[in-house]
Amino acid sequence: MKATIEISDSLLQKAKRLAKDQGVTLRSLTEEGLTKVIQKRSTPKDFRTRPVTFKGNGLSKEFLGKSWTDI
């Protein structure tokens, strides 16, 4: 299938230079790049929680020396 896209001149020049240096076609370089972007954006990201911290001076006096069960 043929498609027409508009990209910046500088990006096209870099892509053509890279394709030439690597001995591949601009088409194959473009397809490889699009494939990688599609895979990356289609894969759900790992859910990670951020550590929650509070500014302060540690435990309140009422909790000092207590076990988690007691708290």
The two tokens of residue 15 are 């892509």
Whether residue 10 is contained in a domain is answered as yes
Name residue, tokens 């500014």: 55
Name residue, tokens 């394709």: 19
Over residues 14-67, the pLDDT tens digits come to: 999 999 999 999 999 999 999 999 998 888 877 788 877 777 777 788 888 888
Whether residue 55 is contained in a domain is answered as no
* Count of domains observed in the chain: 1
Whether residue 1 is contained in a domain is answered as yes
Whether residue 16 is contained in a domain is answered as yes
Provide the domain limits for residue 38: 1-43
| pTM (two decimals) | 0.58
Whether residue 49 is contained in a domain is answered as no
Question: Using CA atoms, how far apart are residues 63 and 71, in angstroms rounded to an integer?
Answer: 7
Closest C-alpha among 56, 59, 5 to residue 33: 5
- Looking at residue 34, which CATH number applies to its domain? 1.10.1220
Whether residue 18 is contained in a domain is answered as yes
